[in-house]
Amino acid sequence: MGCGSSNPQNVVEPSKQPVPTENTENLPKAISTRSVRSTKSQNAAASRTSLKQSVENVNPTSSSNLRQSSPNNFKLNYFDLTGRGELIRLVFAAGNINYEDNRVKFEQWPELKELMPLGQLPTLQVNDEFVLVQSLSIARFVAKEAGLAGRDSVEMAKVDAVLETCKEFFDLFAQQVGPQLRNATDEKEEIVRDFLDNVAPSNLQKLQQLVEQYGSEGFSVGEQLTVADLFIHDIITNLIFLDAFILDPYPLLKQNRNATESNDSLRSYLEQRKQLNRRRS
């Protein structure tokens, strides 16, 4: 698995965590019907308990500030990691959309895994009616809901181009650095340094190139915030954690980060995230 979190709190391997518990009650019907099978009747009480736990997992940084009212009801299921779920949280935050941030505990995962369409997280439950899978598809969907997907078809295409470029970079990070962050080997330092010195620069250069060609006012596409800026922000957060000076050779990416952080709702989410991490460390 490649989750791509560089924060040390965020790098435990979910599939290595034992002790399944049931957490199925508020899954959409198509899934919860399958979920019931043998365990539901015996474990109704346990299920209620874990539902309660699941609700307790909800991250106060993104759900307790009641935000923009949306006709839709969203529940994001992901581990208590940044990884592949964080971009979606950033889109919800920047778009000021209220959602339930269900942070799945590792011990809940083995059972929940069977109920997820692809056996992976993140997933997004919409109106308890259907479940979306694939982090980038979910991020794009929420971005459309939030008005952060680009203003017309040309901007949307440019946003897509930046997102695909980010995804290639994110996947490299998750594959090459991710395992070292989860279970460090003796080669950890060398592998991380090699990534920062030999893989990151060409990818940062590609992103800077796109910001230059497609964006203005610091944004990567058009002249206002889109999900493309948020993915760049997310990736660079991971890199800055490993090397605080990584952006020094990329002035446009620095500007882009500042422009992105000029969104008040996003800034308040980032601040709360920082405080939460401080409290945990």
Cβ-contact 112, 24 below 8 angstroms: yes
3-state secondary structure at position 132: strand
Per-residue x/- mask for ligand GSH, residues 5 to 44, rule CB under 6 A?
---------xx-----------------------------
The residue among 23 and 135 lying less far from ligand GSH, judged by its C-beta, is 135
Cβ-contact 88, 125 below 8 angstroms: no
**Angle at the Cα of 168 (from 123 to 141), degrees rounded to 5?**
35
Does 222 contact ligand GSH by CB under 6 A? no
Residue 140's Cβ-side half-sphere holds a number of Cα atoms within 13 Å equal to 16
Does 84 contact ligand GSH by CB under 6 A? yes
**Whole-angstrom distance, CA of residue 7 vs CA of residue 84:** 13
Does 142 contact ligand GSH by CB under 6 A? no
Does 215 contact ligand GSH by CB under 6 A? no
- Closest distance of CB 75 from ligand GSH, Å: 16
- Closest distance of CB 106 from ligand GSH, Å: 10
Backbone dihedral region of 104: left (phi > 0), alpha (psi from -120 to 50 degrees) or beta? beta
Does 220 contact ligand GSH by CB under 6 A? no
Does 83 contact ligand GSH by CB under 6 A? yes
Which of the ranges 37-45, 114-122, 198-206, 258-266 carries the binding residues for ligand GSH, by CB under 6 A? 114-122
Q: Candidates 10, 54, 135, 220: give the one binding ligand GSH (CB under 6 A).
A: 135
Does 70 contact ligand GSH by CB under 6 A? no
- Closest distance of CB 111 from ligand GSH, Å: 12
Q: In 3D, which of 54, 53, 46, 137 has the Cα closest to residue 100?
A: 54
3-state secondary structure at position 125: strand
Q: In 3D, which of 122, 210, 111 has the Cα closest to residue 160?
A: 210
**Whole-angstrom distance, CA of residue 109 vs CA of residue 88:** 20
The residue among 90 and 136 lying less far from ligand GSH, judged by its C-beta, is 136
Size of the site for ligand GSH (CB under 6 A): 13
- Closest distance of CB 89 from ligand GSH, Å: 13
The residue among 88 and 210 lying less far from ligand GSH, judged by its C-beta, is 88
Residues in contact with 85: Cβ distance below 8 Å, sequence separation at least 6, in sequence order: 76, 78, 79, 121, 122, 135
The residue among 1 and 242 lying less far from ligand GSH, judged by its C-beta, is 1
Can you give the binding site for ligand GSH, defined by CB under 6 A? 1, 3, 14-15, 83-84, 113, 120-122, 134-136
